[in-house]
Amino acid sequence: MRRIRITVAYDGTGFHGWQIQPGLDTIQGELQGVIGKIEGRATEVAGSGRTDAGVHALAQVAAFSIENPIPVDNLRQAMNRLLPRSIRVTSVAEVDSEFHPRFAAKAKTYQYRIWRAEICPPLQRFYVCHHPYPLDEARMTDYAPLFEGEHDFSAFAASDEKDALGATKVRRVFASSLWREGDELIYQARGSGFLKHMVRMMVGTLIEVGKGNLDRGALLERLRPGYPGKSGPAMRACGLRLVSVEYEQQS
């Protein structure tokens, strides 16, 4: 049995997220369907994490096990022939049989892109969040690094079916920054892992900062354990993209 690691880029528009759901189009479902055809049997594909409906990825990492001896380059070509054009496998490698893309991941980087001009170009509308309203961008840029470090991000997490397990919502954010490029305001976060809607709620909080509704103390209060409410709001999924997943040994 061979363990295969793939890097996948996808346009999340029109998909109900990564995780397979009966009767719905998902990224995991498309990949499992294609690999099943190549392998001749149902094959489970594990991802580094679940992206929500409408979220995009430049370099999602996934893995699966097959018996087919097909060379990795030929496997990549075969998968891309069978997949919809909104999903592309950019690299394929054979890895250790114990490799799991979620448990082995050391860091992930997400970007959220906000279109600030009055008019959003039609070709951009599925890949940015349009927000042409007044914001204090300098203040937002100054506050963005406040997310760095190890914090309880409970206030920045949507309800999840895993909540019943009592798993910790403490995460470490290695870098958090915001900058302007032309008509786009770009937020980027690199961390050990992210909770459901966490980045979208972090950006929503920075929007509230830009509107003048939150000061430094109010933002930091939301990062303290036991904060009673939710921060945000969660911004639209279309502006979010998974940029990269890092491992100790890159294949």
Q: Same structural domain for residues 82 and 120? A: no
pLDDT digits (tens, 9 = 90+) for 203-247: 999 999 999 999 999 999 999 998 999 999 999 999 999 999 999
Select from 70, 95, 120 the last residue of a domain: 95
pLDDT digits (tens, 9 = 90+) for 188-210: 999 999 999 999 999 999 999 99
172 neighbors 154 (Cβ within 8 angstroms): no
Rounded to an integer, what distance in angstroms lies between the CA atom of residue 200 and that of residue 235? 5
Domain that holds residue 75: 2-95
The enclosing domain of 70 has a CATH number of: 3.30.70.580
In a domain? residue 129: yes
Q: Same structural domain for residues 156 and 124? A: yes
In a domain? residue 100: no
In a domain? residue 43: yes
Number of structural domains in the chain: 2
Helix (H) or strand (E) holding 92: strand 87-95
C-alpha distance from residue 154 to each of 90, 135, 207, 225 (Å):
34, 26, 19, 8
Q: Same structural domain for residues 217 and 195? A: yes
Strand 184-191 versus strand 56-66 pairing type: unpaired
> Does residue 112 carry a pLDDT above 80?
yes
pLDDT-based confidence at residue 251 (cuts at 50, 70, 90): very low
pTM (predicted TM-score): 0.94
Rounded to an integer, what distance in angstroms lies between the CA atom of residue 251 and that of residue 247? 9
In a domain? residue 127: yes
Q: Same structural domain for residues 19 and 142? A: no
The enclosing domain of 194 has a CATH number of: 3.30.70.660
> Does residue 15 carry a pLDDT above 70?
yes
In a domain? residue 152: yes
Using only C-alpha atoms, the chain has a radius of gyration, in whole angstroms, of 19
Q: Same structural domain for residues 123 and 203? A: yes
Q: Same structural domain for residues 221 and 172? A: yes
Rounded to an integer, what distance in angstroms lies between the CA atom of residue 121 and that of residue 90? 28
Count of beta carbons in the 10 Å neighbourhood of residue 85: 7
52: annotated active-site residue:
yes
Rounded to an integer, what distance in angstroms lies between the CA atom of residue 2 and that of residue 201? 39
pLDDT digits (tens, 9 = 90+) for 113-140: 999 999 999 999 999 999 999 999 999 9
Q: Same structural domain for residues 142 and 234? A: yes
pLDDT for position 249: 67
Q: Exactly one of 25, 52, 142, 163 is catalytic; which is it?
A: 52
Close Cβ partners of 45 (under 8 Å, ≥ 6 residues apart):
28, 31, 32, 35, 62, 63, 64
Select from 74, 95, 116 the last residue of a domain: 95
